[in-house]
Amino acid sequence: MKHLLSTHDLSREDAVRILDTAEQMAAVGTREIKKLPALRGRTVVNLFYEDSTRTRISFEAAAKRLSADVINFAAKGSSVSKGESLKDTAQTLEAIGADAVVLRHWASGAPARLAATDWINAAVVNAGDGTHEHPTQALLDAFTLRRHWSRVRGIESTGADLDGMRVVIVGDVLHSRVARSNLWLLRTLGAEVTLVAPPTLLPVGADAWPCAISFDLDETLSTGPDAVMMLRVQAERMNAAFFPSVAEYSRRWGFDDVRLAALDEHGFEHTAILHPGPMNRGFEISSGAADSKRALVLEQVANGVSVRMAVLYLLLSGDN
Amino acid sequence: MSSADSNEKPSGTSVSTTSRTVLTGSDIERVLTRIAYEIIEANKGTQDLILLGIPTRGYPLARRIAQRIAATDPQLDADALVGQLDVTMYRDDLRHGTSRTPSPTRIPGASIDGKVVVLVDDVLYSGRTIRAALDALADLGRPRIVRLAVLVDRGHRELPIRADHVGKNLPTATSEKVRVHLQETDAVDGERVNEVVIEGAA
Amino acid sequence: MTSTENHPEAFLIRGASLLGGDPEDFLLADGEIAAVGPDAAAHPRAAGAREIDAAGLIALPGMVDLHTHLREPGREDAETVETGTRAAARGGFTAVHAMANSNPVADTAGVVEQVWSLGRRSGWVDVRPVGAVTVGLAGERLSELGAMAESRAGVRVFSDDGICVSDPVLMRRALEYVKAFDGVIAQHAQEPRLTEGAQMNEGEVSAVLGLPGWPAVAEESIIARDVLLAEHVGSRLHVCHVSTAGSVDIIRWAKARGIAVTAEVTPHHLLLTEEQVRTYDPVYKVNPPLRREADVLALREALADGTIDIVGTDHAPHPDEAKECEWAQAAMGMTGLETALSVVQHTMIETGMMTWADFARVTSTIPAAIGRLADQGRPLAVGEPANVVLVDPAHRWTVDPGTMATMGRNSPFAGMELPGRVEATFYRGTPTVLDAELNTPRALGEQA
C-alpha cells in the first residue's frame, strides 16, 4: 500500500491487516507512555481544504503517537475563492520533505489526483474528499463494528471480519462520503448492508450497488439489524428541496426515541447505533438514541486514532 | 518476528542449498531444560521472574522454559510467568522490506516495574532485535534486571549485546541461514517439527 | 518549397485512391482540380508539376469542422487563430468554424470580421466565424444576427455554444429570425437547472465517484423541445455534440417527421466513455460529458445511418493550469483537430461501419452544406476547388500532445495508438501540409 485513497479498491487482506494493526495501536493507547518511535523523523502534513477539527486532531494525535513530525496546513481556497493551486501546494510540501500528506478536500477525487501526478512523492491519505470517500472513517467504523460483532459472537476480534453482520446505513447517502466508503468496506469484510434514505438522497446508479435499498426505516429496523449507522444530514440540503421539511425528515428517517424503544420492545439487544459525528441532535438522531448504551459514538472517536495510527504506520513503513 | 534476524537474506531464491540439522527436537528439549535451570540459578529462585518471548518463535520458547521453571515449584503457574513483547514498532529497519504487522504485547501481572525480565528469542544474530526489545521494554516500565536467553547464538553481532543464557553457540557464515522450526509455529512438508537447521549455498 | 500567392505550383498526385476507390492520378493547378484520371499526366499544366507518389494514400475532400474553439480574441494563452488553424491543417481540414465564446464574445459584426480577417491572414484554412445567438452569450436578447450575416465574415452559423439557449421563447425567435439570411442555429443542448454543478455523466460511475451527475435527460429534453420548435416555425436546427442514445432516438424521430434538423458528434464521444473519469484526470472533463458504452455505440450507429449528419471536433484547447488541478476546478474541453481523422477512422472505418466516401460526407460535404460554404466540401472532380487531403490509412501513430500544432496539451487520446496520418493537405491548391509536416500557408487578402 502506497496510498489510502478509497475503500473501493481495498482488499480484504489489507483491510483486516489495518484493523489488526489498529488493535495493537489501541493497546498502546491504554499504556502510560502512549507513544511509539515507529515514525521518528518522518513528516506528516495535514493538508485541509475544508474545516474539520475532529478529523484533523484525530490524524494529528495518530501521527504524534507514532513520533512523526506534524505540520498542519489549512489551505484556503474554495471553489469560489481560488487560492494557490493544489499543484503548487503539493510541490511546496514535497520541497519541505513531507513523507505523508493527509488530504481533506471539498473536491471529489483530489487525493486520487495528488497520488496520480508527479507533483509530490509522499504517501497520500484521503481524509475525506467531496462526496466521494472517507476511508479512515469507514475503517474506524469497521473496527468499532468488528469489536461489537466479535463480542456478540464471542470470538477474538483480531483476524476476524464482519461475515454475516447486518448493517443499516441511514440518511443522506447522495452527499455522503462516509456512506460510500462504509458500503464498500463492509461488503469487503462480509457484512450485508441496507441503505435507508429518502429517494431524493440516493444517487442515480445506486441500484447497481451491492446492497439492499429501502425507503422505510421502521420496516428495516423491524428486521433486527446488528448495527444502525446514522449519517449527518446537512441542513442546507433542505433548501435544495431534497425533502420538504426538517420535521418530515426526522419523522420518517430520524433515529428518534420511539424507534429506540421499538428496538427494546422487539428484544433486539445487540443492535448498536453509530454516527460519524458531528451529530445534529433532534434531527437525524435523538439525544435518547445518541446517549443510549447502544450508541458506540465515543468508541468510534477513540478508535479513530488507533485506525489512523495503523494507516500511517503501514503506509510509511516498508519499501514503497 | 525475530526470525527475520536469522533470515535477512531474501528466501525463496532458486539457488540450490545444502541443509544440515544442528539441533534435533530432543536437543532443543535438553537445552531449554538447561536454560530453565540457569535462569533459576542466576535469579537465586523464581522471585519477581517474568519471561517475555519475542514474536514469533521467542514466545513458544518462553512458554516451554516457563513450564520447566514452573515444574520446579508446585506454587508456580507457568502462564503467570510468561508474556510476549512485540518489538515491531521499535525496529530500526521499518523503512525497508515489507511493512510488518505488529503482534500483541502481553505482560503477565500488572506491570514489569521492579521485575526480573528474561527476554527470550530463537536466534541471536546482529543484536538489533534485542536493541529494539530493550527500547520497547523501557516504554512499558522499569524492570529491576533484564536478561537475555536465546536458543541459538550464531555470532556476527552488530551491537554491544550478548546473551546471558545460550542454548547453542553456532559458528556460521553470513551467507548461511539459520532456520528454527517449532511445532507451535512451523510445519515442514505438513509435519509439525522441532529442529534448527543451517542452510548454505551449495 | 516555395509557392507564391498568385501562382501556386501544380501538383500531380499519382495513384491516390479517391474516396477509397481505385488508384487514379489527378492534377491540382491554379487552385483547382485541373484533371482527374489517366489524362492528368498529359494535361498541359502537368508539365513541371511537382509529382507526389500517392500509392496507398486516400484522397479526400478537405475536412470542414463546424465546431472549433480558436480562443482568439481574448484567450490567446490557450490558442490563437494562427496556432488553431495550423492544427486544423495538420488534421486535414481546409475550413473551420470558430465558435463565438471568445472574449469579447463574437456577437457583433466587428468581432466576427476580426476573427475572419485573422483567418485570412493566417492562411492555413478558411476560418468561418460563428456568431453568438444572444448578446454576450447571456441568453437574454438576440445579438445583431443580421449584421453578422451581412458582414465580410458572412456568418451563417449562430451558436451560444458552451451555453444552451435555454429560454424557449428566445430560441424560437432565433430559429425564426435566421431564416431571413438562410442561417442556422447550432444549439448546445443542456438544460441548465438540471446540470447545476454537474461534473460528469449521471449514472453508476458518478454514484461511485461522488461527482455531481449530468443527466442525459438534460440534453435530450432540450433537443426534444428544439426539434418541435424548429418544426413549428419551419426553421433549420443544428444540434451540437450529441452525446446520448436518447438524443439519437429523438433526432431519428424528428428526421422521420421531416423536421429540418442536423446533428453532430465529436470524435471523443465516438471513442471514450465515462469509465475514463475514474482516474479523476481532468483531461477527460468535457461538455457534454463522456457517456456510457451504450451511448458510444448508439452514436456510431447513428453516424453510420445518417441520423447524425456530421463529425464536429469541438476542439477546445486549454492552458495546462486549467487541467492540472482538481477535477471540479478544471476547465471542460479537449483538443481534437489533429486526432479527428484518426479517431473516426478507428471507430467508424476500421469497424466496418463506414467507407471513406462516408467519411468524406460526414467530415466535409455535409458540414460545408450546413455552414453554407460554397467552395468547401465539394466532389473531387475537375473544376472544383483544390481542397484535398491525402491520408495514409495504414500508418499507425501514438498520440503525443507535445508534438501537436495546437497550443492545447489537453488531448484525451494521449498515449493511444491510432491509425491514419494526414500526408498532405491542399488548401485552395496550396500544400499547407506536405510529407505529414506543416508546409506553407496561403495568406489571403482582406477582401472576401
**Could you say which of C210, C215, C279 has the minimum Cβ distance to residue A177?**
C210
Angle at C288 between CA C285 and CA C294, to 5 degrees: 100
Residue B89 distance to chain A (closest CA, Å):
5
d(CA A174, CA A237): 11
ipTM of the prediction:
0.94
Kindly indicate the confidence band of residue A106, based on its pLDDT and cuts at 50, 70 and 90: very high
Cβ contact C125:C96 at 8 Å: yes
What mean pLDDT do residues C163-183 have? 98
**Which pairing describes strands B82-84 and B49-53: parallel, antiparallel, or unpaired?**
parallel
d(CA A213, CA C207): 14
d(CA C331, CA C324): 10
Kindly indicate the confidence band of residue C444, based on its pLDDT and cuts at 50, 70 and 90: confident
SS3 A128: strand
Cα four-point dihedral sign A122, B8, B86, B192:
positive
Interface with chain A: mutation pick from B85, B95, B103, highest number of A CBs within 10 Å: B95
Confidence (pLDDT) at A318? 82
* Interchain CB contact of C381 with A (< 8 Å): no
C205-258 per-position pLDDT tens digit = 999 999 999 999 999 999 999 999 999 999 999 999 999 999 999 999 999 999
| Domain end (from C346, C370, C394) | C370
Residues C402 and C429 both lie in one domain: yes
Confidence (pLDDT) at B11? 45
Residues C87 and C19 both lie in one domain: no
Residue A318 distance to chain B (closest CA, Å):
4
Confidence (pLDDT) at B188? 81
Residues C102 and C41 both lie in one domain: no
Q: Tell me how many residue pairs between chain A and chain C have CB atoms under 8 A apart.
A: 82
d(CA B64, CA B67): 5
SS3 B49: strand
Residue A291 distance to chain C (closest CA, Å):
31
* Interchain CB contact of C328 with A (< 8 Å): yes
The enclosing domain of C328 has a CATH number of: 3.20.20.140
Percent with pLDDT over 70 in chain C:
97
| Mean confidence (pLDDT) of chain B | 90
Asked if the Cβ–Cβ distance from C213 to A130 is below 8 Å, we say no
**CA–CA distances in Å: residue C171 to residues A37, A314, C174, C230:** 69, 59, 5, 9
What mean pLDDT do residues C23-46 have? 94
Residues C321 and C420 both lie in one domain: no
Asked if the Cβ–Cβ distance from A108 to C211 is below 8 Å, we say yes
Asked if the Cβ–Cβ distance from A108 to C213 is below 8 Å, we say no
Does the pLDDT at position C27 exceed 90?
Answer: yes
Q: Which domains does chain B have, with CATH numbers?
A: 25-173 (3.40.50.2020)
A142-167 per-position pLDDT tens digit = 999 999 999 999 999 999 999 999 99
Residues C196 and C301 both lie in one domain: yes
SS3 A269: coil
Query: H-helix or E-strand containing B40?
Result: helix B25-43
C377-413 per-position pLDDT tens digit = 999 999 999 999 999 999 999 999 999 999 999 999 9
Asked if the Cβ–Cβ distance from A17 to B101 is below 8 Å, we say yes
Kindly indicate the confidence band of residue A63, based on its pLDDT and cuts at 50, 70 and 90: very high
Residue C446 belongs to some domain of the structure: no
Which chain A residues are within 8 Å of C209, Cβ to Cβ?
108-109, 132
Residues C170 and C71 both lie in one domain: yes
Q: Which domains does chain A have, with CATH numbers?
A: 12-133+303-316 (3.40.50.1370), 135-301 (3.40.50.1370)
Does the pLDDT at position A134 exceed 70?
Answer: yes
As given in the structure block, the three cell numbers for residue B61 are 520458547
Asked if the Cβ–Cβ distance from C324 to A87 is below 8 Å, we say yes
pTM score:
0.92
Which residues, at least 6 apart from A80, have a Cβ–Cβ distance to it below 8 Å? none
What mean pLDDT do residues A166-194 have? 97
Closest CA to C112 of C100, C122, C124: C100
Residues C322 and C338 both lie in one domain: yes
Asked if the Cβ–Cβ distance from A109 to C325 is below 8 Å, we say no
The enclosing domain of C390 has a CATH number of: 2.30.40.10
Residues C48 and C151 both lie in one domain: no
**Could you say which of B97, B104, B140 has the minimum Cβ distance to residue A31?**
B140
**Could you say which of C204, C213, C325 has the minimum Cβ distance to residue A85?**
C325
Asked if the Cβ–Cβ distance from A113 to C326 is below 8 Å, we say yes
d(CA C428, CA C125): 9
Residues C52 and C68 both lie in one domain: no
Interface with chain B: mutation pick from A316, A317, A319, highest number of B CBs within 10 Å: A317
Confidence (pLDDT) at A281? 93
Asked if the Cβ–Cβ distance from A130 to C205 is below 8 Å, we say no
Positions of C marked catalytic: 314
Confidence (pLDDT) at A234? 80
* Interchain CB contact of C392 with A (< 8 Å): no
Q: Which residue has the cell 556460521?
A: B172
Residues C345 and C418 both lie in one domain: no
Residues C341 and C200 both lie in one domain: yes
CB neighbourhood size of A154 (10 A) = 6
Whole domain around residue C119: which residue ranges? Answer: 62-370
C47-75 per-position pLDDT tens digit = 999 999 999 999 999 999 999 999 999 99
Kindly indicate the confidence band of residue B15, based on its pLDDT and cuts at 50, 70 and 90: low
| Domain end (from C344, C370, C396) | C370
Three-class HEC string of chain C = CCCCCCCCCCEEEEEEEECCCCEEEEEEECCEEEEECCCHHHCHHHCCCEEEECCCCEEEECEEEEEECCCCCCCCCCCCHHHHHHHHHHCCEEEEEECCCCCCCCCCHHHHHHHHHHHHHHCCCEEEECECCEHHHCCCCECCHHHHHHCCCCCCEECCCCCCCCCHHHHHHHHHHHHHHCCEEEECCCCCHHHCCCCEECCHHHHHHCCCEECHHHHHHHHHHHHHHHHHHCCCEEECCCCCHHHHHHHHHHHHCCCCEEEEECHHHHHCCHHHHHHCCHHHCCCCCCCCHHHHHHHHHHHHHCCCCEECCCECCCCHHHCCCCHHHCCCCECCCCCHHHHHHHHHHCCCCCCHHHHHHHHHHHHHHHCCCCCCCCCCCCCCECCEEEEEEEEEEECCHHHCCCCCCCCCCCCCEEEEEEEEEEECCEEEEECCEECCCCCCCCCC
Confidence (pLDDT) at C7? 46
Numbered residues of chain A with Cβ closer than 8 Å to any chain C Cβ: 8, 79, 82, 85-87, 105-110, 112-113, 116-117, 129-133, 177, 180, 203-206, 208-209
A19-38 per-position pLDDT tens digit = 999 999 999 988 889 999 99
Kindly indicate the confidence band of residue B148, based on its pLDDT and cuts at 50, 70 and 90: very high
- The total number of structural domains in chain C stands at 2
